[in-house]
């Protein structure tokens, strides 16, 4: 399925989950208990792909003047063996120095982190026809904002087999009460760690224990910034101004549909801020304003009429730093933290 979770010819999906908590947990088969690396790969059909590079590519052009053949020694295909049929499938076009990172190496690196941190495997899956793969782990430490607003911490390993992105580790705090994924880019802490697909990448992956330093630095920074927001009040009028800056109507004469969508969005956001049970303990604070916006983006923003497709869209949003939802979350944080 090109738009999201990979679904095979027999109807099974390349996804496995240990628990049903977050947006990405709403897809595929849900199992009980923590997964091992081997179980995560086997149950999500990520084992034995044998991702490899085939090159170079010979381009042929046929015109009235004859046949022109162009050698392109620096251009290669990445291919895999389909985990269900064994058929060879093209994943992407890459350069000469690109080196594939197998899914097994992916979880091998995460195993190193699990040994160091005591984390448990949670989910694993394949997106966009095998072009992208993810494995997530739940870290044993959590965050208590204000001493009571609890967040679990997840570490996602994201691998690309089509040459469009590096192997990345992404840290995501998730607010337990409403399963909001937080996406704050903080000034003094990173929430991701990238490894290029080049010769020696596997050795670099072994060094990814350094990512734990990023985790601890981010947790401390996240908790500190969240504490500032929870200790500052926010009126409904101030909240509405923030929302208007995130979703402005810039046209002098907007159409009826745009006005209707804007009013519906603002109505949902007001209700989340003023009345939602998920904000009850933090009502009237800047932290509540931020979480009302993230709750809207994670659970209420339009994602398609088909429930399965909508779930896939929301799952992909949570695992994509560059998604519009992640950008809107960052803008919300920047606006609300500006006056603190």
Cα–Cα distance for residue pair 153/114, rounded to 1 Å: 13
Q: Is the peptide bond before 56 cis (omega within 30 degrees of 0)?
A: yes
Q: Does 319 or 145 have the greater pLDDT score?
A: 145
Nearest alpha carbon to residue 128 among 315, 321, 328, 305:
315
Q: Binning pLDDT at 50, 70 and 90, where does residue 29 land?
A: very low
Distances (CA, A) of 73 to 52, 62, 302: 16, 20, 45
Which of 5-19, 84-98, 192-206, 280-294 is predicted most confidently?
280-294
User: b/e map of 323-339 (b: 16 or more CB within 10 Å)?
Assistant: bebbebbeebbebbbee
Question: 34 Cβ partners below 8 Å, 6+ apart?
Answer: 18, 120, 121, 122
Q: What is the pLDDT of residues 267-296, one digit of tens each?
A: 999 999 999 999 999 999 999 999 999 999
Provide the sign of the torsion angle of the four alpha carbons 90, 92, 94, 97, taken in this order.
negative
pLDDT higher for 38 or 293? 293
Q: Which residue has the higher pLDDT, 185 or 53?
A: 53
pLDDT at 257 over 60: yes
State how beta strands 29-30 and 52-63 pair. Answer: unpaired
The structural domains of the chain, with segments of one domain joined by +, span 15-47+100-227, 53-95, 231-338
Model confidence at 82, pLDDT cuts 50, 70, 90, reads: very high
Whole-number mean pLDDT of the chain? 80
pLDDT digits (tens, 9 = 90+) for 214-251: 888 888 899 999 999 999 999 999 999 999 999 998 88
Taking the CB of residue 235, how many other CB atoms lie within 10 A of it?
Answer: 11
pLDDT per position as a tens digit, 83-134:
988 888 999 998 888 888 899 887 777 777 777 777 788 778 887 888 988 8
At 11 the pLDDT is 61
**Residue (of 20, 196, 224) closest to 122 by Cα position:** 20
């Amino acid at each position: 399925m090109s738009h999201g979770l990979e679904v095979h010819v027999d109807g099974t999906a390349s996804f496995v989950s240990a628990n049903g908590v977050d947006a990405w947990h709403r897809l595929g088969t849900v199992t009980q208990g923590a997964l091992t690396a081997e179980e995560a790969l086997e149950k999500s059909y990520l084992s034995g792909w044998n991702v490899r590079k085939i090159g170079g590519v010979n381009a042929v052009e046929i015109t009235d003047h004859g046949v022109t053949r162009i050698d392109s020694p620096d251009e290669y295909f990445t291919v895999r063996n389909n985990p269900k049929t064994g058929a060879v499938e093209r994943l992407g076009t890459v350069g000469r120095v690109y080196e594939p990172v197998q899914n097994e190496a992916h979880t091998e690196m995460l195993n190193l982190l699990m040994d160091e941190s005591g984390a448990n495997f949670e989910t694993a899956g394949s997106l966009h026809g095998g072009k992208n793969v993810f494995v997530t782990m739940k870290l044993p430490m959590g965050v208590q904002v204000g001493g009571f607003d609890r967040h679990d911490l997840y570490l996602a390993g994201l691998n690309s087999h089509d040459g469009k992105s590096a192997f990345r580790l992404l840290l995501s705090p998730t607010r337990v009460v409403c399963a909001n994924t937080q996406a704050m880019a903080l000034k003094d802490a990173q929430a991701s760690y990238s490894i290029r697909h080049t010769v020696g990448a596997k050795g670099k992956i072994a060094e990814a224990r350094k990512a734990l330093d990023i985790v601890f630095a981010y947790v401390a920074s996240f908790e500190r910034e969240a504490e500032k927001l929870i200790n500052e009040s926010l009126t409904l009028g101030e909240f509405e101004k923030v929302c208007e800056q995130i979703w402005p109507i810039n046209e002098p004469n907007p159409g009826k549909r745009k006005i209707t969508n804007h009013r519906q969005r603002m109505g949902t956001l007001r209700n989340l801020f003023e009345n939602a049970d998920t904000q009850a303990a933090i009502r009237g604070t800047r932290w509540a304003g931020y979480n009302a916006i993230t709750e809207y983006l994670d659970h209420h923003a339009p994602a398609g009429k088909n429930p399965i497709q909508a779930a896939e869209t929301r799952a992909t949003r949570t695992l994509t730093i560059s998604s519009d939802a992640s950008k809107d979350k960052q803008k919300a944080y920047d606006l609300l933290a500006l006056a603190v």
